[in-house]
Amino acid sequence: MEIRTKFELKLGMATREAFGKALVEAGRKNPDIVALDADLSKSTYTSLFAKEFPGRFVECGIAEANMIGIAAGLASGGKIPFAASFSCFAINKGFEQLRVAVAYPNVNVKVVGTHSGISIGEDGPSQMSIEDLGLACSLPNFTVLSPADEVAMHALVHASVAHAGPVFIRAGRPKAPIVHSPDQRFEMGGSVQLMDGSDLSIIGNGLLVAEAIRAAEALEAEGISARVIDMYSIKPLDRAAIQRAAAETRAIVVAEEHLVATGLGVRVAQVVAETNPCAMEFVGIQDTYAESGTPQELMEKYGLVARNVVAAARRVLSRK
């Protein structure tokens, strides 16, 4: 089933590229910002920052744990470090340092994990980060963000500079459809309602927001009215928006490019259980690693496209 949107979602730049550009802008305004990378600066786009501010760029080599430790020390020295790598390496190799050198003492380190999810494609599971949001959310004091497009990424990089405390920002490899209007505001703990609806709510983040919009439009054609929310702040969560969605639509689908067991869905479900329990369904990566393939093939094979959201919507409505 080919799902077409009424207004074609325009493809923007990849969120990793939007991160690199926003970091340069932020670096022009704030001389305390430094960037760190672990031999992936061309892929994470910190290369843009390195070009403009060579003296404020720290190339750590292939040593992610050390990079996170260095970032913690830089932060203690008054700098605002942005440490970037593929999300799997930054989070997994740097996890103990994120826990004890950053989260626990509440140090002002920003970590940017690019190439998240399975939409990196051909490189395969060793480079795919499907557990990063769960791990990052498990760290007290951390703010965890997953922007859907270049507009959100741009705003959230600036918001992270302004925020005192550790932040994890998840970025993707492929170009991302633009789902937000240019003047949209974003904040830690916020969310954006992109479509209103009364029969169910679809809450997503990252690339799944665009899939949620496509799904909502397909459902609309069948006379089903779906609310679509971009829940870009995974921690803290916009509890009020979730509570409203549960109370007003009485059915929720959560969609994300992450393990269902530890991602956005379970966190939303906790709020729903604590406030207005209602039927829920989850679209995400099941308890498995993916494989090599094109991004689109993988998103389809692992159930992360609009028709999977539509199917989940039908299931949740049948349980309403």
Partner 1 sequence: MRKTSNVAELEAIAKQVRREIVEMITHAKSGHPGGSLSAVEIAVTLFFDVMRHDPANPKWPDRDRFILSKGHAAPVLYSVFAECGYTPKDQLNSLRKLGCMYQGHPDARFIPALEASTGSLGEGLSIGIGMALAAKLDQRPSRTYVVLGDGEIQEGQIWEAAMFGGDKGVDNLVAIVDYNHIQLDGFVNDILPLDPVADKWRAFNWHAIDLDGHSIPALQAAFAEAAQTKGRPTAIIAHTIKGKGVSFMENNPKFHGVAPTEEEMEKALAELA
Ligand X SMILES: Cc1ncc(C[n+]2csc(CCOP(=O)(O)OP(=O)(O)O)c2C)c(N)n1
Binding residues for partner 1, rule: CB under 8 A, are 37, 39-43, 47, 59-63, 65-66, 88-89, 92-93, 121-127, 291-294, 297-298, 301
Binding of residue 40 to ligand X (CB under 6 A): yes
CB of 187 to partner 1, least distance (A): 34
DSSP symbol at 19: H
What is the size of the binding site for ligand X (CB under 6 A)?
5
Binding of residue 89 to ligand X (CB under 6 A): yes
Got the DSSP string for 239-262?
A: HHHHHHHHHHHSEEEEEEEEETTT
31 binds, among partner 1, ligand X, none (CB under 5 to 8 A by kind): none
52 binds, among partner 1, ligand X, none (CB under 5 to 8 A by kind): none
Binding of residue 59 to ligand X (CB under 6 A): no
Burial class (CB in 10 A: 0-12, 13-18, 19+), 6: exposed
Residue among 17, 64, 217, 257 flagged as catalytic = 64
CB 70 within 8 A of CB 36: yes
Taking the alpha carbons at both ends of the chain, their separation in whole angstroms is 25
- Pull the structure tokens for residue 286: 């099941």
Peptide bond into 295 cis (omega under 30): no
Nearer to ligand X (CB atom), residue 50 or residue 208: 50
Nearer to partner 1 (CB atom), residue 88 or residue 304: 88
Angle subtended by helix axes 15-29 and 150-162, to nearest 10: 40
123 binds, among partner 1, ligand X, none (CB under 5 to 8 A by kind): partner 1
Q: Strand, helix or coil at 96?
A: helix
* 25 part of the active site: no
Binding of residue 122 to ligand X (CB under 6 A): no
**What does the binding site for ligand X look like in residue numbers (CB under 6 A)?**
39-40, 62, 89, 93
